[in-house]
Amino acid sequence: MTAKAREFLDFWIENSVHAAEQYGTPGASQDVAELARRCIEMAGQQGLTEQDLRDAAGDITDYVRIRLKAANRKEADRPK
């Protein structure tokens, strides 16, 4: 199940975790707890448990926090 959970996480992060916009328009949610909750909820709809996600990526809140920071860092480094 770990491979399926990893696949889900990669897809979900790509489509659900977005940087705060740097040039005036608000980005997606920056609330890590809310994003983690949504991830776990959507995984459940795909037949994956929170434990499946943990087995694939460790603590889901920490995982989302790291990915969100990376997205924000990438956006901040983007040339104007």
For the chain of 80 residues, list the mean pLDDT of each consecutive stretch of 10: 92 89 60 94 97 96 93 76
pLDDT in the model for residue 22: 63
pLDDT in the model for residue 38: 95
What pTM was computed for the model? 0.81
Sequence-separated contacts (24+) of 35-38 with Cβ below 8 Å: 35/64, 35/68, 36/60, 36/61, 36/63, 36/64
pLDDT in the model for residue 72: 84
